Amino acid sequence: MKLTEIFGINVFNRQVMKEKLPRNIYEKLLETIENGAVLDISIAETVAQAMKDWAIEKGATHYTHWFQPLSRGTAEKHDSFLSPESLKYGNAILKFTKNQLIQAEPDASSFPSGGMRSTFEARGYTVWDPTSPVFIIENGSSNTLCIPSIFTSYNGDSLDKKTPLMRSIKALDISTRKLLSLLGENTIQVYPTLGAEQEYFLIYKDYYSLRPDLRLTGRTLIGKESPRGQKLEDHYFGTIRPDVLNFMVELENEAYKIGIPITTRHNEVAPAQFELAPIFEHVNVANDKNKILMEIMPRIARKHGFEILLHEKPFKAINGSGKHNNWSLMTKEGKNLFSIGESYDEQLQFLLFITIVLKGVHKRGELLRAAVATLGNDFRLGANEAPPGIISVFLGSTITDILDKISSGDHQGSMTEKKFVSLGLDHLPFVQLDNTDRNRTSPFAFTGNKFEFRAVGSSQSLAFPNAFINTIIAEAMDEVRAILNKNMNGDLPIAILDTIKEVYNDVRKIVFNGNNYSADWIIEAEKRELPNISTAYDALQILTKKQHISLFEKYNVLTDRELEARYSIDMDHLSSLQEIEANTLLYMIDNGIIPAVLRYFKECGMFDDKMKIDVIVSLRDELADLLSKMKIATDELRIMLSEFQGMTNREAAQFGSYDMRDKMEEVRQYSDALEGHIPEDIWPYPTYIDILHSAH
């Protein structure tokens, strides 16, 4: 089928609503979806009936409240449309009521709550979010109507990732409209938009199934670097292999059916690494669609003989994967508040909003680091392919130069002056340059009409990073509005310039346009007193600071209780992953590596004391030394794990992030050195050459 025929066919979208609903009900529902108006409960019964009829036409037999609990994935409980009346009449009677649409009751005690709920306190509620489209998931012979929902406890505590995001959107809308009103501009609504570039690895399923570390942890805990690695850089933007392209095409078709607007696909820098990117959408909808995408990618990959790796660093010594979070602000009327504009007044407003972002990141940048704190990101951030744990902002030379001049009081000129570069070929046109270059090393970079938060990990939900960005910027909006109001003296442009100057002089140290990967930047950042937070454990401690707790409470994004719960869950999650990794490593060493080395000794006759050939004796001694050191290191790791068991989650997470991680790396070094000597037919696990370069 053509793209125009399949896009959105499994979405209860505006076109379907218009066809299935009476006009007055359609308009009321649209008012809630588009403008955030309170849902009129009186229309819910008609909407539910229309949804059911449409879903059944599409082959759906069940419905589910689809939500995002405080665990790694999403959750759903499928209920049939079959009515209890079917028992009375003996035939299938299908019903779907307003109560079933609006609210459901999953077992709240079965999901992480960070202490907000006990096992005996099982009641929780999922509540329909009408601002995110209802969709149908096709999975083999089963089609299910999925209703995007929030998840809350009996006491009203948020038990999901979606609720804080939606609260932050509301807070940002209110703060931004207040500032725009002071600027003489009124709008119905302001909302953040998001375009999420999703990076991933695609490896053959046969190799994946033979690697316990990939199956249990998502990354390779041992593995000698391939001689080729990602050298030559011929994979990036190269021709897409036919088997991979077949997977991409089916994935896109499935995504199109449920309205996910994927527009970009390409090879990434590392071998076996790829990327896709969608069109920008409202951040709440974009987050939901990214979660859906992460669920259907593995299923479709397996159909094509692949496994998807969404871990931030599946392989040592080659690039890991991120989820570049392209964030911007739009008015209901379609104006991007980070677009430069043509007139002087538009450009002043643009610079004011840029300065607001600088203020927010300057004051609360460590919260952005906390928002991307995962075990996987510990191995990626700062590893020569991703920004370090230092949060800074890239603006580019043009904007930085203008802000510098404003701060010194001598700014004149326009940002829309056209710049061109000649290619030296008469038959080709001149290339028009943008106002900024692209800094691929910056964690928070301005890239034309949006900010790209590049530190987000590939396996992460986008909900928390964007909830944090929204809240930080909402606070900065209010603080800059207060400064602007103080500077108002009848001349708005001068008041804006004075405000930009005042704010920029306070926050300019957060601006860095250079190479974030360089050692010099780490030294320079320390001079600027910008924190360098290298582990998820340290980053998560930021959530316990009183000034950040009060921020989320002030803007009604997270209560103290809800934030503390998320911190507790993250500590538990971090320590659990560390324990799984350590046990998996020991399993692979005990059951794979040591037996393989001993087998090699036996086949080469190295156990024979009469063997006197110098080269064999030398090799035997070298391997025996490596084996002995690896055995000592693994025994020490076992002792650490026994100590780990008696610790609190926080103590364990800290211990795992430093002492235990260092010991695991030591074990790996010995194992990888042994791999360099053992033939492939004896080595027990597929190597990096097998996994990453088999297609070559």
- Provide the CATH number for the domain around residue 669: 1.20.120.1560
> In this structure, are 615 and 481 located in the same domain?
no
Residue 180 in contact with residue 138, Cβ under 8 Å? no
Phi, psi of 458 (to 5 degrees): -65, -30
Judge if 505 and 605 occupy the same domain: no
How far apart are the C-alpha atoms of 388 and 380, rounded to whole Å?
Answer: 9
Pairing of the two strands 393-394 and 444-446: parallel
State residue 169's pLDDT score: 97
Is residue 466 domain-shared with residue 330, that is, in the same domain?
yes
C-alpha dist (Å) from residue 258 to 10, 135, 277, 282, 656: 5, 6, 16, 16, 41
Note whether 148 and 263 are same-domain residues: no
Together in a domain, 299 and 436 = yes
Q: Is residue 544 situated within a structural domain?
A: yes
Partners of 306 in the β-ladder: 204
CA 131 to chain centre: 21
Q: Is residue 99 part of a domain?
A: yes
Residue 567 maps to a domain: no
587 and 512, same structural domain? Answer: no
Do residues 399 and 359 both lie within one domain? yes
Residue whose tokens read 């080269």: 615
488 and 531 together in one domain: yes
Structure tokens at 24: 């007055």
Beta-carbon contacts of 271 under 8 Å, excluding residues fewer than 6 positions away, are: 228, 230, 235, 318, 692, 693, 696
Q: Is residue 292, in this structure, part of any structural domain at all?
A: yes
Classify residue 62 by burial, with Cβ atoms within 10 Å: 0-12, 13-18, 19+: middle
Provide the domain limits for residue 137. 3-159
Contact predicate 592/220, CB 8 Å = no
The 3-state DSSP class for residue 275 equals strand
Query: Which backbone phi and psi does 644 adopt, to 5 degrees?
Result: -55, -40
What confidence score (pLDDT) does residue 611 get? 66
Give the E-state strand segments of 388-507 in sequence order. Answer: 393-394, 419-421, 431-433, 444-446, 451-453
- pLDDT for position 421: 45
What would the pLDDT profile of 504-548 be if each residue is shown by its tens digit?
999 999 999 999 988 899 999 999 999 999 999 999 999 999 999
| Structure confidence by residue, pLDDT tens digits, 595-643 | 999 999 988 877 666 666 777 778 888 999 999 999 999 999 999 999 9
- Residue 568 within a domain: no
What b/e readout covers 195-223, taking b as 16+ CB neighbours within 10 angstroms?
bbbbbbbbbbeebbeebbbbeebbbbbbb
Helices (H) then strands (E): counts for the chain: 25, 17
With H, G, I as helix, E, B as strand and everything else as coil, classify residue 191.
strand
* Beta carbons of 176 and 481 less than 8 angstroms apart: no
One domain, residues 195 and 265: yes
Query: In whole angstroms, what is the distance from residue 443 CA to residue 541 CA?
Result: 20
Both 178 and 304 in a single domain?
yes
**Is there a contact between 531 and 364 (Cβ–Cβ < 8 Å)?**
no
Number of domains, the chain: 3
Report residue 158 as tokens. Answer: 């948020």
d(CA 47, CA 145): 14
DSSP assignment string, 98-154: HHHHHEE--BGGGS--TTSS-TT--BEEEEE-TTS--EEEEETTEEEEEEEEEEEET
Contact 297, 250 (CB under 8 A): no
Pairwise CA distance, residues 23 & 10, whole Å: 22
* Residue 566: inside a domain: no
Question: Does 173 lie in the same domain as 145?
Answer: no
Residue position matching structure tokens 């005996």:
120
Specify the CATH number for the domain of residue 84: 3.10.20.70
pLDDT score, position 88: 66
Q: What pLDDT is recorded for position 332?
A: 94
Q: CB of 189 within 8 A of CB of 332?
A: yes
596 domain residue, yes or no:
yes
- State which of 110, 127, 159 marks the end of a domain: 159
CA separation for the pair 485, 181 (Å, rounded): 11
Label residue 321 exposed, middle or buried (CB < 10 Å: 0-12, 13-18, 19+).
Answer: buried
**pLDDT for 435:** 53
The span from the CA of 302 to the CA of 359, in Å, is: 46
- What's the rounded Cα separation, in Å, for the pair 496 and 491? 9
Q: What is the helix (H) or strand (E) element at residue 307, kind and residue range? A: strand 306-309
Decide which of 140, 159, 178 is a domain's last residue: 159
pLDDT along the chain (696 residues), means of 10: 91 95 94 86 94 95 94 89 73 84 82 74 86 92 93 90 97 98 94 97 97 98 91 78 95 96 92 95 97 96 97 94 96 94 90 97 97 95 76 93 88 53 47 56 92 95 97 98 93 94 96 91 94 94 97 98 96 97 98 96 77 76 94 98 94 96 98 96 96 79
Report CA-CA distances (Å) from 402 to 410, 412, 438, 444, 514.
9, 8, 18, 19, 17
Residue type, 138: E
Burial of 534 (0-12, 13-18, 19+ CB in 10 A): middle
Query: Domain check: are 446 and 579 in the same one?
Result: no
- Quickly count: other Cβ atoms within 10 Å of residue 546's Cβ: 8
Q: 521 near 380, Cβ under 8 Å? A: no
Q: Which residue has the tokens 């071998």?
A: 271
Question: Which CATH number is 436's domain given?
Answer: 3.30.590.10
**Single residue among 534, 558, 582 that ends a domain in this structure:** 558
- Can you tell me which residue has the tokens 């850089």? 233
User: Shortest CA distance to 11 belongs to which of 255, 212, 264?
Assistant: 255
Domain assignment present for residue 563? The answer is no
